[in-house]
Amino acid sequence: MSRLTDLTLLQAASGLRAGEFSARELTQDHFDRIAALDAVLHAYLALTPELAMAQAEAADQRLTRARRSGSNSLPALLGLPIAVKDVLCLEGVPTTCGSRILEGFLPPYTATAVQRLLDQGAVVLGKVNTDEFAMGSSTENSAFGVTHNPWNLNRVPGGSSGGAAAAVAAQLCLAALATDTGGSVRQPAAFCGVTGLKPSYGRVSRYGLIAYGSSLDCIGAMARSAEDLLPVFLGMAGYDPLDSTSLEEGLPAIDLEGDLQGLRIGVPREYFIEGIHAEVERGVRQAVETLVALGAEATPISLPHTDLALPVYYVIAPAEASANLARYDGIRFGPRLGEHELLDQYLQTRGRLFGPEVKRRIMLGTYALSAGYYDAYYGQAQKVRTLIKRDFEAAFEQVDLIACPVAPTTAFAIGAHGDDPLAMYLEDVFTLPANLAGVPGMAFPVGRDSEGLPIGMQLMAPALGEARLFQATHAYQQATHWHEERPPQ
């Protein structure tokens, strides 16, 4: 397989600047690898070869001018091939959210996070698979077919950003933009053995993200390592007047080479529960020991309302989804089914084109918001959400970071939870609290289980504390090799 696709993002950037190869060659090698592998993996829903080659050509011209002039002032992502989760709008490119109800939809604008990377000269290879409207933990809910885990084709890649994680792990792109509403960056990153960041809520603009749960949705990214992920994060983050929830705080200077001496890491008791696989617990605890050997201090802490995060999330998120998905009626977007009578069109379109998980969450959310039940369910859930947020605030008065598993298990078999939605929801038990509290989290590989599947750990930081996440993760990855391992070809 092509040598160029074996390069990390930073290696590819260095090679482009040195003139060792062109952006067109780098992009074509990625398309060649996609052609060879993606029929089996099904990571991509749509490829954009003409757009990508035009972007690569523009990058090559810019690189040539810079070399002739001796200039080193070039954007970090110039000429680098990336993928975009199919819930983020890209002007003129099919955007389906993994749903038949948006089949054929061509956005008239581009999401801010995507546009900022395009402005840096990034090359978009295409849109990657997702659970329908980002609702799921395995990418099995996509209307266009499941994505397979590159480490074991019979296992799920995680969800809802399974296409992004599989594409990065299988070297079908150098990085991918994805979204995290309840763990949808961190859990698939852990299942596929890559590094994934969920930023603080409001750190990255949500403009152009097709909403699932508006108070929970975050745009994040995946790459092979923290140092590869850093330029992607810095490229897309920052205030955006087009998003009313966007934060005006400036981005910090992030020094990856800082040491961990004195860094206080909390290990929450509530995240090592009955049902967690022994190999996952052992891998995470060994990773904490590695961080301690690098100078950090580890101490047990408590996040007492952790066990309430799952029921709280599955009241709030479906309620917000119920409101957000009301716009898909067959009139404004996508296909239209039914006869001429308006109500029949509405019922036929939504009834036949939404998948079962989306319908389930719409019904749950509509019930929770209905008269007579709003205060008992949605109102109460928001109060408990505040308690969860206060747990994190209290913990971060004692520690700088929190370390815990990403999921109770490694990647499970395709179809394992097909008849049990509650079992599927439990896969997110360790990732949901960060979204409810609005704090950032980073997932990265810390080992392999007895079946050769990646084990993931996550670090969480106080709001706007991404610099700590990058520093600690990079230090761990400099001392270990798990992030360098690739799935069997």
Query: Where in the sequence numbering do the catalytic residues fall?
Result: 85, 160, 184
CA distance 58 to 60: 5
What's the CA angle centered on 182, arms 176 and 186, to 5 degrees? 40
| Residue 28: other Cβ atoms inside 10 A | 18
Which tokens belong to 147?
């994505």
Backbone angles phi and psi of 220, in degrees to 5 = -125, -160
Cβ atoms of 483 and 474 closer than 8 Å: no
Cβ atoms of 191 and 157 closer than 8 Å: yes
Which tokens belong to 218?
């975050």
Backbone angles phi and psi of 441, in degrees to 5 = -145, 150
CA distance 198 to 434: 9
